[in-house]
């Protein structure tokens, strides 16, 4: 851990004031109100050693990183049947693309693009009595953190401007791959995207993907080891949309980004690390976040490859 601490501090100082070519997401108006200068990093190891720098305790909108948690809960309910509804192939297309859905007859390429996550939300709406409350309870249990919550302002802001997601959900429903009411599924989707966490909280909630022996404080295992391996595999191949290859190439860890500027990366058997910097590159991934993690895995020689 001492080694990690020094390297994290050094990289933080090295890139804190670089010329960041990214831009804060504006298509969800509420996200544009966040200061672009926020920059935080937090690492939690499977031994629960931890270290953070910068704005690592400030909550931010985790956006698409919540797709890891919704997939996890749906996988628990459905097991391998889930893959009849959503595939596990990289899409090579932007996160909000409608392009492939027509040829693929409404079956999204993977659960980490919007179309796939919307189908996963539909699966959860079918299983949960009170989807928003029950999903939050699930997150609070694995994080051992009763303070986790949605940001209603962000959810509302996305709902008002959610033309693409509304189109995706309706289009998939036309193929029969959405079983519930479109409004209910989207309301749930917009809420899970609005979940707020700090870098610290996010690094802790993902530990079940790094630690084979993880159980919640209530003694529950979150996924079987085989399921956790598969979720990590999808993260590696699909976690950054049409930049997934680039992230694997430069960083070499399973991970997930969100348009709030967060990136979660997982080193199975070692640690979870989260970087938050709201300015995004053209593919919708945090510019500084990717740069930080590339330097981190290079200097610590701790990628999975
Ligand atoms: N809520 C965002 C959307 O649906 C999530 C996208 C993202 O973080 N890449 O557009």
pTM more than 0.95:
yes
Task: With H, G, I as helix, E, B as strand and everything else as coil, classify residue 43.
Answer: strand
The residue nearest atom 2 of ligand 1, judged by CA position, is 63
CA neighbor of 194 nearest in space, from 31, 22, 24, 36? 31
Q: Which DSSP string do the residues of 115-136 spell out, in sequence order?
A: HHHHHHHHHHHHH-SSHHHHHH
pLDDT digits (tens, 9 = 90+) for 145-173: 999 999 999 999 999 999 999 999 999 99
Any domain includes 133: yes
Range of the domain at 109: 2-300
**Residue with CA closest to ligand 1 atom 6:** 64
Domain harbouring 253, CATH code: 3.40.710.10
Give, for ligand 1, the residue of 193, 261, 262 to mutate: max count of ligand atoms closer than 8 Å to Cβ.
Answer: 193
Whole-number Å distance, alpha carbon 66 to ligand 1 midpoint, is 10
Residue 9 covered by a domain: yes
Task: State residue 2's pLDDT score.
Answer: 73
Please say whether the dihedral angle defined by the alpha carbons of residues 236, 133, 63 and 49, taken in this order, is positive or negative.
negative
Question: φ and ψ at 183, to 5 degrees?
Answer: -60, -40
**Number of domains making up the chain:** 1
Is 259 a catalytic site residue?
A: yes
Q: Whose CA is nearest to atom 10 of ligand 1?
A: 96
| Residues 260, 267: Cα–Cα separation, whole Å | 22
Instruction: Give per-residue pLDDT as tens, 94-136.
Output: 999 999 999 999 999 999 999 999 999 999 999 999 999 999 9
Residue 189 Cα to ligand 1 middle (Å): 10
Domain-located, residue 305: no
Residue 154 lies in a domain: yes
- Could you tell me if residue 52 is inside a domain? yes
Mark whether 241 is an active-site residue: yes
Selection from 43, 25, 68, 95 nearest residue 240 by Cα: 95
Q: Which residue numbers in the chain have pLDDT < 70?
A: none
Among 76, 174, 82, residue whose Cα is nearest residue 128 = 76
CA 63–ligand 1 middle distance (angstroms): 6
């Amino acid at each position: 851990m001492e080694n990690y601490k020094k390297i994290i501090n050094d990289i933080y100082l090295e890139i804190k004031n670089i010329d960041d070519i990214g831009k804060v997401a504006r298509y969800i108006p509420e996200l544009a109100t966040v200061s672009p200068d926020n920059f935080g990093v937090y690492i939690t190891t499977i031994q629960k050693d931890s270290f953070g720098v910068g704005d690592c305790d400030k909550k931010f909108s985790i956006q698409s990183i919540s797709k890891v948690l919704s997939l996890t809960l749906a996988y628990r309910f459905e097991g391998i049947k889930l893959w009849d509804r959503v595939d596990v192939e990289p899409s090579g297309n932007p996160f909000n693309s409608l392009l492939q859905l027509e040829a693929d007859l409404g079956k999204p390429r993977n659960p980490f693009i919007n179309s796939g996550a919307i189908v996963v939300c539909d699966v959860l709406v079918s299983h949960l009595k009170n989807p928003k409350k029950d999903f939050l309870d699930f997150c609070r249990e694995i994080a051992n953190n009763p303070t986790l919550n949605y940001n209603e302002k962000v959810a509302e802001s996305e709902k008002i401007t959610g033309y693409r997601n509304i189109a995706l959900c309706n289009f998939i429903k036309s193929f029969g791959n959405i079983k519930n009411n479109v409004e209910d599924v989207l309301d749930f989707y917009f809420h899970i995207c609005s979940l707020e966490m700090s870098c610290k909280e996010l690094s802790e909630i993902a530990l079940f993907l790094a630690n084979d022996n993880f159980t919640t404080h209530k003694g529950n295992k979150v996924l079987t080891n085989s399921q956790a391996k598969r979720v990590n595999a999808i993260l590696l191949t699909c976690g950054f949309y049409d930049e997934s290859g680039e992230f694997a190439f430069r960083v070499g860890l399973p991970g997930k980004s969100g348009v709030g500027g967060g990136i979660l990366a997982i080193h199975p058997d070692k640690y979870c690390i989260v970087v938050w910097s709201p300015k995004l590159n053209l593919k919708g991934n945090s510019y500084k976040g990717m740069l930080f993690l590339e330097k981190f895995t290079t200097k610590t020689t701790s990628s999975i490859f």
